[in-house]
Amino acid sequence: MRELLLVRYGEIFLKGQNRPVFMRALVKRVKRAVQDLGATVYLNDSRIFVTDYSDQDEAIRKVTKVFGVHSVCPAIEMPKEDFDAVAAQAVAMMADLKGTFKVSARRSDKRYPLDSPAINGQIGHRVLVANKNLSVDVKNPDHVMNVEIRDHAYLYVKVIPAVGGMPVGTNGRATLLLSGGIDSPVAGWMIAKRGVHINAVHFHSYPYTSDRAKEKVLDLARILSESCCGIRVHVVPFTKIQMEIHEKCPDEYTTLIMRRFMMRIAERVAITEKSEALITGESIGQVASQTMTALGTTDMVVNMPVFRPVIGFDKTEIIAIAEKIGTMETSSLPYEDCCTVFTPRHPATHPHLDIIEAAEAKLDMEALIQEAMDGIEIVTC
């Protein structure tokens, strides 16, 4: 008899030809998540099992964060031949529970002497006799004693919900514009949840923004990495571009012009990373550079699709996700961002394209972009 984790995934993705690709990707991602715990991960009878871990709680914490996992069940695996022993184990696992229950048996071994209704009946009866705090409710029980008869017997009661989504890498790649704020880590997480492997670009304006501000962004990438499976962060030196914009462009347009530079550079990075899209943490109307007109003028400078998964979210809703995924605390640290250092007093909310283009014509854009690209430092988180 031994303890293990039975990992459940969304059946919806498993139809048709995608199934083997999905399963291989998921097993690989679960293995990566628990590698530090010395755990073994394997596929058996279309189920993923995790065993031999040094710490079960930590294994559960890590596996429930893997995109593509819908729930994790701590289970007991034991020989199926001695039915009395299986029933006794079920009784022991329900000893501390109160309320209503049912037994749900599944039998993939059709030669087993008892069929599913017989297993349900026999184990249900023994649980009722042993635990006076439980009664049966087959329609809407508080607890379900799952008994699966496969190569062995597997028993579990607890079903711990996981993040869901699809395994990272099954839906291509995208590049996240990652600031140290609350919104962009959430945006990246939401797209990665759909199976997209993300990498990131961070614009750093040293010495106007400190090394600690950069470290904060890398810490955010490390937190995301638990679910996102390794994030390459491209740290782009942005000071020169910001100084040039500050000197040569109208004050109320500096933020927008800066954002257009960010998009152009992010797209170039995205191409080197074989990404198919850009991701930002913008939400309509949150700040002046996030009016619909302003977003339109930043989209214009790139050819790739730009995904903004929090576009319709209130700040409180974004914060709730940041708390759930564990980025909120780090995002709340007070270090400055390059956007805030050069913020104009009255940013244009209804920018005119002709003014933007006239201002940009005063800059040696290609040289500035190339110099920033050449100065990129890549950190793998």
Q: Kindly list the strands in the beta sheet with 232-237, ordered across the sheet, starting from the edge strand earlier in the chain.
A: 306-307, 278-279, 173-177, 197-204, 232-237, 377-380
What's the min distance (Å) between Cβ of 280 and ligand ATP? 4
Name the residue among 85, 220, 229, 102 with its Cα closest to residue 167.
229
Asked if residue 203 binds ligand ATP (CB under 6 A), the reply is: yes
Q: Does 179 bind Mg ion (CB under 5 A)?
A: yes
Q: Which residue is nearest to ligand ATP (CB)?
A: 181
The footprint of Mg ion on residues 314-353 (CB under 5 A) is 337
Q: Taking the mean position of all CA atoms in its chain, how far away is CA 115?
A: 40
- Residue 347 tokens read as 């940013």
Which position among 199, 280, 291, 327 is part of the footprint of ligand ATP (CB under 6 A)?
280
Give the one residue of 39, 201, 241, 257 binding ligand ATP; rule: CB under 6 A: 201
Number of residues that bind ligand ATP (CB under 6 A): 20
Residues between 334 and 363 with contacts to ligand ATP, criterion CB under 6 A: 337-339
Residue 68 binding partner per list Mg ion, ligand ATP, none, with a CB distance cut-off of 5 to 8 Å that depends on partner kind: none
Residue 282, binding choice from Mg ion, ligand ATP, none, Cβ under 5 to 8 Å by partner class? ligand ATP
Q: Does 270 bind ligand ATP (CB under 6 A)?
A: no
Q: How far apart are CA 309 and CA 281, in angstroms?
A: 7
Give the one residue of 289, 297, 327, 330 binding ligand ATP; rule: CB under 6 A: 289
Residue 338 binding result from ligand ATP, Mg ion, none, given CB thresholds of 5 to 8 Å by partner type:
ligand ATP
By CB under 6 A, residue 177 contacts ligand ATP: yes
Binding status of residue 281 toward ligand ATP by CB under 6 A: yes
Contact stretch for ligand ATP (CB under 6 A) within 70-78, 108-116, 132-140, 171-179:
171-179
Of these partners, ligand ATP, Mg ion, none, which one is at the site of residue 177 (CB under 5 to 8 Å by kind)? ligand ATP
Q: How far apart are CA 239 and CA 233, in angstroms?
A: 18
254 binds ligand ATP (CB under 6 A): no
Pick the stretch among 110-118, 140-148, 200-208, 268-276 that binds ligand ATP (CB under 6 A): 200-208
Task: Give how many residues touch Mg ion by CB under 5 A.
Answer: 3
Residues that bind ligand ATP (CB under 6 A): 177-179, 181-184, 201-203, 262, 280-282, 286-287, 289, 337-339
